[in-house]
Chain A
Amino acid sequence: GESVGLHLPTLSVQEGDNSIINCAYSNSASDYFIWYKQESGKGPQFIIDIRSNMDKRQGQRVTVLLNKTVKHLSLQIAATQPGDSAVYFCAENLNTGNQFYFGTGTSLTVIP
């Protein structure tokens, strides 16, 4: 039968450790990628973006890596804090369109 909901991948890390969240995107024509953080009861919040002409981009405590060969995106969070606990989504934008396609998300839990 049809599943009611998706089982989210989960990641648990100790406070202070680094976190790596992975995403496999679907379309080789995608040329712009965004990582979003979603806390319970809130909308997706922009974290960092990267375009297909780059393979790495750094922000404050976050780094995004893009591997176009295998269509893989990762988000690294340094020194993870309890406030980082949330669901993280990657989103891809095709170079021919206006919309973003979201991945299924990863639930990150930071253990104090």
Chain B
Amino acid sequence: EPEVTQTPSHQVTQMGQEVILRCVPISNHLYFYWYRQILGQKVEFLVSFYNNEISEKSEIFDDQFSVERPDGSNFTLKIRSTKLEDSAMYFCASRDSANSPLHFGNGTRLTVT
């Protein structure tokens, strides 16, 4: 069964550094998402992306965040200047239509020290 893959599985970075989290969505999917989950808390929406542009974003997704689909297969989340409170699991998800479920990757655990 096709799946969403995310790399790396764990990223440790120092406060103020830039990180790029990478995702390969399922190949025929058109809608892409980033969610995050702080340890022990619920899954929170960050941003959705369709037709090469952001379609929705949450108030968490401020100017330090950006997303990109640099080629036909990758979908990236960049955090420009990481803060301690950015430490969380970051999940990428995709779906093939507006009426289908999200399929999630296994996440990248980001630790900011």
Contact = CB atoms under 8 A, between A and B. Distances in A.
Given A98-B50, A99-B56, A45 B31 contact: no
A99 B39 contact: no
A4 interface: yes
A45 B56 CA distance: 23
Interface of A is mostly: loop
Interface stretch (A13-21, A62-70, A102-110): A102-110
Interface in B20-52: 31, 33, 35, 38-45, 48, 50
B111 interface: no
A32 interface: yes
A23 B43 CA distance: 15
Interface residues on A, range: 20 to 34
Contacts of A84: none
B104 interface: yes
Interface stretch (B11-19, B71-79, B95-103): B95-103
Interface of B: 4, 31, 33, 35, 38-45, 48, 50, 55-56, 58, 91, 93, 98-99, 101-107
Given A6-B41, A41-B106, 6 more contacts: A34-B101, A42-B106, A43-B93, A44-B91, A49-B101, A89-B43
